[in-house]
Amino acid sequence: MQTLEELEQRIQSDAGLMRLRTELDALMDADPAHDTGHLLRVALWTWRLAPGVPPRQAIAAALLHDLVNLPKDHEERARASELSSEQARSMLPRAGFDAPEVELICEAIRCHSYSRGETPKSDLGRALQDADRLEALGALGICRTFSTGARLEARYFHPLDPWGEARARDDIRYSIDHFFTKLLGLAKTMLTPGGRREATRRVEFMKSFLVQLGAEIGKPAARHLEVFE
């Protein structure tokens, strides 16, 4: 299986990818959930999950998939991937990608977003969508959930009803609600065999975290997780 070191070597040996990497360094904001590390991890998993796609296409799509990063509560959040695709279209030719490659990569970027709710048609698009969703799961997913919650000024969980038994869940106000409104169900949305395997493994880790949290706050979580078996 490819490693981050191999990914870095491939980028450094490709003038076009290095150009994209340099341009991105100037564009990325301070959001730790969407920084360069995130882009590289998504690139690695896109490469892993799309063995039939030329690696430079997989890597380029992942590097550019978050060019426009709108906050979770932004009214145009669902258009972020479309806007990223439009911006990528101007960058890719300068990096040596021909017209058919540009179309393929831009379509993958446009369709990958969870907020957009679209199923990609290409192997590249399916791999990119799965790779990006993997970042929302496991230990990284827990880190990203709480860093995003901090940006939204959310509380960790509802003080009286942390699992949403007697209230409507609200993942803008309570970060733990996001596990139940989205994250624990992501494994079933994966489109590649490798993506499903890795997502299932990461979801199990998140469940163990919630069980531990429940034990610490005196509100057992186990029965609230049964629906996600």
**Structural domain spans, the chain:** 4-128, 138-228
Q: Which CATH superfamily is domain 4-128 in?
A: Hypothetical protein af1432 (1.10.3210.10)
Identical fold between 4-128 and 138-228: yes
pLDDT, tens digit (0-9, with 9 covering 90-100), for 77-89: 668 788 889 999 9
- Distance from C-alpha of 90 to C-alpha of 206, rounded to nearest angstrom: 39
CA angle 35, 40, 44 (to 5 degrees): 150
Which top CATH class is 138-228?
Answer: mainly alpha
- The total number of residues shown for the chain amounts to 229
Compute the mean pLDDT over every residue in the chain, rounded to the nearest whole number: 92
Residue (of 11, 72, 16) closest to 40 by Cα position = 11
Determine the pLDDT at residue 74: 59
What DSSP character marks residue 68? Answer: S
Angle 123-134/55-64 helices, nearest 10 degrees? 50
What DSSP character marks residue 117? Answer: T
pLDDT bin (cut points 50, 70, 90) of residue 182 is: very high
In this prediction, residues 43-63 reach a mean pLDDT of 97
Determine the pLDDT at residue 159: 95
Determine the pLDDT at residue 19: 96
Ranges 61-75, 95-109, 159-173, 195-209: which has the least confidence = 61-75
Residue (of 71, 184, 50, 74) closest to 126 by Cα position = 50
pLDDT, tens digit (0-9, with 9 covering 90-100), for 100-145: 999 999 999 999 887 777 899 999 999 999 999 999 999 999 999 9
Residues 6 or more apart in contact with residue 182 via CB below 8 angstroms: 114, 136, 171
| Model confidence, pTM | 0.92
3-state secondary structure (DSSP) of residue 174: strand
Q: Considering all CA atoms of the chain, what is the largest pairwise distance in Å, rounded to the nearest integer? A: 58
User: Amino acid identity, residue 43?
Assistant: A
Residues 6 or more apart in contact with residue 19 via CB below 8 angstroms: 94, 95
Stretch (H or E) spanning 122: none
